[in-house]
Amino acid sequence: MVKVLGHRGAPRERPENSLEGFERALELGADGVELDARRCVSGELVVCHDPTLQRTAGRPDRVRDTPWSELRRVDLGGGARLPRLAEVLALWGPRGLVNIEVKGDDADLPALARSLAEDLQAVPEARVLVSSFWPEALRAVRGRCPGVPLGRLWEPTGDAPEGPPPAWSRGPWEAVHPHWSQCWEPWVRLWRAEGLFVHAWTVDEVPTALALRGYGVTSVITNEVAAMVGALGARR
């Protein structure tokens, strides 16, 4: 059965990457969530997609230059707040998968991997997968957290898939995370036959999700959590 992962929580109902959004995804019956982790200047991993808070909170602050003591007070709208990764891991615990996307634009990948290892050690019951667009970020995580499964993300090329899957889709990771438009059925079936998990992003149309289920994807990452849970019958 294909799983439903809330993209940055439940962004159609709560602010993205907010603790309230992750709580809502849990209430809606998602199998897990996808989120973005960045290291702030005081060392904590903060859940935030963009390098700055301009888009989500109307503030120019750069996450990597701001301490958690200030970031914790940021209002994302309606009182929703920016969480630390450790808080989301504690909320979800063993109840579902937390797909942590780490950002390769961090100036100090070893420090990011070290902070990640500390958060995972603090919540050992959490079920996690670490993904990134940057192989060097995945290698840093593998060196610090050797038992944590990894997923390779990539942007859509704009071309119709054909021929064999990209050679770089294989590597020292356990999952591939293609954009849904790159989930060509022969590729998905080959990846699955090779033992790779396939997590497709960002799938917001039910017919697309149903087609991907037929191809054999492991999960869909979606903004439309309620609709996908209803259509796909997500279960933990």
Mean pLDDT over residues 174-187, rounded?
Answer: 95
CATH number for position 135: 3.20.20.190
pLDDT in tens, 203-236: 999 999 999 999 999 999 999 999 999 999 866 5
For residue 234, what pLDDT is reported?
62
User: What residues contact 219, with CB distance under 8 A and at least 6 apart?
Assistant: 2, 3, 4, 5, 31, 32, 97, 197, 198, 199, 200
Q: What percent of the chain has pLDDT over 70?
A: 99
Structural domains counted in the chain: 1
Question: Which tokens go with 171?
Answer: 């590597």
Domain residue limits at 103: 3-232
pLDDT in tens, 25-63: 999 999 999 999 999 999 999 999 999 999 999 999 999
